[in-house]
Structure 1
Amino acid sequence: MATDVEVVSEADEPGWEVDPDDEWGLAVIATVGRQLRLRREARGMRVPDFAKAVGYGEDLIYKIESGKRIPRPEFLDKAEQVLRADGLIVAMKEDVEKVRYPKKVRDLAKLEGQAVEIGVYVGLSVHGLLQTEEHACALFEARQPPYSQEEVERLVTARMARKAIFEKSPAVALSFVQEEASLRRRVGGTMVRRRQLEHLLEVAQLRNVTFQVMLTDTVAHPGVDGKIELLKFADGTAVGRSDGAFNGRPTSDPKELRILELRYGTIRAQALTPGESVAFIEQVLGET
């Protein structure tokens, strides 16, 4: 067994934080940690020896085994090899992969994955389903207090995973209304911004996507209070949310959904047509 492995400390390799509000995720990570500890002990390895063998700091090993950190896939691969676990540890990677994303992101992705129709109005930033990886990274890096680089990578990966919705069959009907300001905001460098605009043009050409721009000089409309989201499902049910209605909470109440649908319909009527919106993005791209 190699003894010259470069040890990665917790400071350099913090691992993924466990979401304290994610009961299922906490249970999964606790089970994974317990199995790792039992396997290590069955091999007669102390934590210092195991840490040295896999190339990670002892503090990180203790936290993973106690269910306080989510192990990365490469850590599990090394643990599988060192402990000669006959596939037991590698088999846990699938469950770990599911809980590596924050619970609220998983919940949102699950709803989007079940929807047959999605309508969104966004004012401040490009909607997550429309963002390029570089654009999303620049947004997360701008957050305050700042995320660690590990957390930025984790969140970007989760956001990109949601875009699998564009590959669903049958296709999901997607409707987006973006405020002009979100398209002109200088997120990232020039090339990041150009690629984001080019990506919007590509998405706008998809047959199952309707993309519209709300110009800044448009008169007041029902979206000035914030984001509106509407998701409809195959069984006829729906869920909606608006920053400016019902305390911002998700709702499935038919009366409240009708209000959100009325607001979203009015917004779409006041926005540029899809054709005009494509021409507008091309204009902004030409100015970049």
Structure 2
Amino acid sequence: MGQSAGSSGTARYFAELLRTFRKSRGLTQAQLGELVHVSDSYVSAVETCERIPSPEFIAAADEALEAGGLLAIATEHLAHDRYPAFFKDFAKLEAEALSVSSYSTHMLNGLLQTEAYARAVIGSRFPPLEDEEVERLVEARLARQTLFFRKPVALFSFVIEESVLRRRFGTRDGMHELLDHILRCAALRNVVVQVLASAHGEHAGVDGGMTLVETPGHKQLVYLEAQERSLLISDPDEVARYSQRYAMIRTQALGIEESAALIKQLAGET
């Protein structure tokens, strides 16, 4: 079974509130679905805590049911419920971070993924996830990309192993779309993308990927993830070692223009 929203108190409260407002307006699930442009099965899944509602659904339902903001107020809290349990705490930190620095060794950071790539990656998990769970996780992953345009502006640095860009998830067209998408992200003024070329050989990133985060209080944290487990490191001495390691990886990676040229070259090969 896919992860349901049932474990979340926020989701259960929202589901009950939605059901109460819907019934008080004399609407069936199908009628509400028609008003907010979703299926009755979608409304049912939200009311039974089998699906986390999208921000668009919450806003539309609040307006259609004349809830006066009582439904809409749950948007931010429910947003974090869309993520896997091991990622939820980091998602909150990432959403408020002053800067995010990521080194990817086997899969592209979710902030740079396209819908097709994300669906292929999540769909490749084993044991397989249910289709609805895949779609929920894809939706949540793509929603994170609004952070690029957040105010106040956050800074993003990505170092990507060349092998990550060469490993195909999904179709050739999907990979071409992905590479073009990375280039568009790299063109943003608050985003830096570098590629660690395979030809470099020995490098400082042999111990694996990492993400460094600077909080609004200027505290540095390190996030590590593997096999549906995660670790958040706050010890200053440990964080300093990871920061030094990331700095060295950046110096060993191609420069910004060279990285863009390599990504364009790879796009031409797909």
TM-score, normalised with respect to structure 1? 0.73
Q: Tell me the amino acid that sits aligned with residue 18 of structure 1.
A: A
- Whether 2:82 is the aligned partner of 1:101: answer yes
Counterpart position of 2:66: 87
Secondary structure at the counterpart of residue 69 of structure 1: coil
Counterpart position of 2:202: 220
Q: Give the C-alpha shift of residue 184 in structure 1.
A: 0.5
Counterpart position of 1:128: 110
Partner of residue 5 from structure 2, selected from 15, 18, 21: 18
Q: 1:226 to 1:91 in 2, by over 3 A?
A: same
Given that 1:16 and 1:150 are in contact with CA atoms closer than 8 Å, whether structure 2 keeps it comes out as: no
Q: Give the C-alpha shift of residue 225 in structure 1.
A: 2.0
Give me the whole-angstrom Cα distance separating, in 1, the residues matched to 2:52 and 2:260: 44
Q: Which moved more, 1:167-176 or 1:150-159?
A: 167-176
Q: 1:252 to 1:287 in 2, by over 3 A?
A: same
Counterpart position of 1:6: none
Q: Tell me the amino acid that sits aligned with residue 17 of structure 1.
A: S
Q: Give the C-alpha shift of residue 218 in structure 1.
A: 2.2
Partner of residue 137 from structure 2, selected from 155, 163, 169: 155
Counterpart position of 1:277: 259
Alignment of 1:133-144 (within 5 A): 133-144=115-126
Give me the whole-angstrom Cα distance separating, in 1, the residues matched to 2:57 and 2:159: 42
Partner of residue 188 from structure 2, selected from 206, 212, 228: 206
Secondary structure at the counterpart of residue 235 of structure 1: coil
Secondary structure at the counterpart of residue 204 of structure 2: coil
Counterpart position of 1:231: 213
- Whether 2:166 is the aligned partner of 1:184: answer yes
How many residues of Structure 1 are paired with residues of Structure 2 in the alignment?
A: 257
Structure 1 portions without partners, runs of 5+: 1-13, 21-25
Query: Per-residue CA shift, 1:118-170, capped at 9, x if unaligned?
Result: 11100001111111111111111111111222111111111111111110234
Query: Per-residue CA shift, 1:42-69, capped at 9, x if unaligned?
Result: 89x9xxxx67988868xx96x976x653
Q: Tell me the amino acid that sits aligned with residue 9 of structure 2.
A: A
Q: 1:27 to 1:180 in 2, by over 3 A?
A: same
Secondary structure at the counterpart of residue 223 of structure 1: coil
RMSD: 3.7
Structure 2 portions without partners, runs of 5+: 33-38
Give me the whole-angstrom Cα distance separating, in 1, the residues matched to 2:239 and 2:57: 46
Secondary structure at the counterpart of residue 265 of structure 1: helix
**Identity value in percent:** 34
